[in-house]
Amino acid sequence: MIQIVNYQSQYQADFKRLNLEWLDKYNLTESHDLEILDDPDGTVISRGGQIFLAKEGDTVVGTAGLWKETESEYELVKMTVDPAYRGKGISKLLLDRCLAEAQQLKAHKIFLFSNSQLKTALKLYEQYGFH
């Protein structure tokens, strides 16, 4: 059974591995990505953001986060699911958790950046009303 849990620093290596896997696959890795992946606590959590992990048992199989842009604006960041676990609704669980957290944080705006190569992700984001 998949559980969505709050990020803990013990999972930094899993967070980095899962995100680099897809970033590198599409040649999208940038220095900003590495800053977040190397130090999620310092770059996201301590600034008022949040990261969530999808776990099956003790295995981290997905990630998603909210980067605090301003007091009322958050960016959806670092959303990925291990290829072996895709197609099981895990992205929706992560996105639902992020949106629920944004609501609790009283966010007025949630935005994201994606890449045209990521057709499945774009379709999911559109289903949730992102443009």
Helix, strand, coil fractions of the chain, as percent rounded to 5: 45, 25, 30
pLDDT of res. 115: 84
Mean pLDDT in each 10-residue stretch from start to end of the chain (131 residues)?
97 98 93 96 97 98 98 96 96 97 96 88 90 85
Report residue 124 as tokens.
Answer: 């999911």
pLDDT of res. 116: 85
Report residue 34 as tokens.
Answer: 């590495």
Neighbour count for residue 77 (Cβ, 10 Å) = 22
> What stretch of H or E contains 40?
helix 40-43
Q: What is the pTM of this model?
A: 0.93
Report residue 104 as tokens.
Answer: 């609790």
Report residue 129 as tokens.
Answer: 């009303």
**Is residue 18 helix, strand or coil?**
helix
pLDDT of res. 94: 98
